[in-house]
């Protein structure tokens, strides 16, 4: 079956003012998404300058991609590992003491494949305090990872994660309760 792709549309998604988006594209590419170890403070300042709400103690490693910093909130003492992609077409809210490991993806949009125009379907993502997203894990649009939940390596969160739960697989399923020894 042939489909007329000239009808493709983005739905309700609007990135922001074109000049702001263009300037951010280059700063993101040359500083955040760079392999050079730019100072964390510089990255924090740039994110704040472009509208992100960033708490204290953010560690943001090299090769990180952030689509729209004006749709990003990050709490205190968070870690964003190498090659993380925050594809925030919608709001992404990251609590305090959150770790997002290497190569993880936070995806706030996908497409409605049932419509000929293939529009975006958007959903906010919230990572509550103490969440750990494992290396190469994917958090899908509209997902809430409750307090201290864990999404393990290479897992895909297509449903909300309950507080203190450890989840694994594709799609991610509950494995056991997270226990922190004192």
Instruction: For residue 148, tell me if it sits in a domain.
Output: yes
The predicted model gives 94-102 an average pLDDT of 98
Instruction: For residue 69, tell me if it sits in a domain.
Output: yes
Per-residue confidence (pLDDT) for residue 12, from 0 to 100: 72
The CATH number assigned to the domain holding 84 equals 2.160.10.10
Per-residue confidence (pLDDT) for residue 3, from 0 to 100: 56
3-class secondary structure, 8: coil
User: Domain limits at 61?
Assistant: 16-174
Per-residue confidence (pLDDT) for residue 47, from 0 to 100: 98
Instruction: For residue 112, tell me if it sits in a domain.
Output: yes
The helix (run of H) or strand (run of E) holding residue 39 is none
Instruction: For residue 11, tell me if it sits in a domain.
Output: no
Whether 16 shows a pLDDT value over 90: the answer reads no
Higher pLDDT, 9 or 120: 120
Instruction: For residue 96, tell me if it sits in a domain.
Output: yes
Q: Which of 137, 136, 112, 132 is nearest to 122 (CA)?
A: 112
- Average pLDDT over all residues of the chain: 93
Instruction: For residue 6, tell me if it sits in a domain.
Output: no
Instruction: For residue 5, tell me if it sits in a domain.
Output: no
- How many structural domains is the chain composed of? 1
């Amino acid at each position: 079956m042939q489909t007329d792709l000239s009808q493709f549309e983005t739905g309700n998604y609007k990135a922001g003012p074109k000049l702001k988006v263009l300037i951010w594209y280059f700063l993101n590419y040359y500083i955040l998404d760079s392999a050079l170890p730019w100072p964390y403070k510089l990255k924090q300042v740039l994110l704040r300058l472009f509208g992100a709400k960033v708490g204290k103690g953010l560690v943001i490693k090299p090769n990180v991609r952030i689509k729209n910093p004006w749709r990003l909130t990050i709490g205190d003492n968070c870690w964003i590992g190498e090659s993380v992609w925050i594809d925030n077409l919608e709001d992404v809210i990251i609590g305090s003491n959150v770790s997002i490991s290497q190569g993880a993806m936070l995806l706030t949009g996908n497409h409605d494949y049932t419509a000929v125009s293939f529009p975006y379907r958007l959903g906010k993502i919230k990572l509550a305090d103490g969440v750990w997203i494992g290396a190469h894990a994917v958090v899908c649009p509209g997902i809430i990872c409750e307090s201290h939940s864990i999404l393990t390596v290479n897992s895909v969160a297509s449903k909300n994660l309950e507080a203190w739960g450890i989840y694994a697989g594709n799609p991610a399923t509950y494995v056991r309760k997270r226990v922190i020894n004192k």
